[in-house]
Amino acid sequence: MNDNNSKVQRITLENFIRRLASRFQDRVVNVEFFCGECCKKAKGGELTLIGRDFIELTAAEDYEIEVITFSGGDVVDNEFVEVIIIPLSQVCSVEIPENCNEKTSD
């Protein structure tokens, strides 16, 4: 039964990675993810790399990625970064912001 569960998890992860690559790659996204006891949201980064077990967001030209940390329903930290790598095992959701519907230019 444990083997079956591992197989289902692997297939689910593979499908998630395929969907990220086909719909979200090279677009500006927001990513919600867990970090310890906190929930974080990276806003406005371009999904530049999808690894086997991580994603990388890079700031678009002249912008920074906003990373908001929530704990107990409250914002406890807010920082700005140029690049962030997020383990896929910690990702809750990937969103395309409404005002960023087009792919970024090369």
pLDDT per residue over 19-28, tens digit each? 999 999 999 9
> What's the predicted TM-score (pTM) here?
0.84
Rounded to an integer, what distance in angstroms lies between the CA atom of residue 101 and that of residue 106?
16
Question: Sorting pLDDT into bands at 50, 70 and 90, what band is 106?
Answer: very low
In this prediction, residues 33-54 reach a mean pLDDT of 95
Count Cα atoms within 13 angstroms, Cβ side, for 37.
Answer: 5
Domains of the chain by start residue, with CATH: 2-95 (2.30.30.100)
Supply the pLDDT for residue 81: 98
Tally Cβ neighbours within 10 Å of residue 59. 19
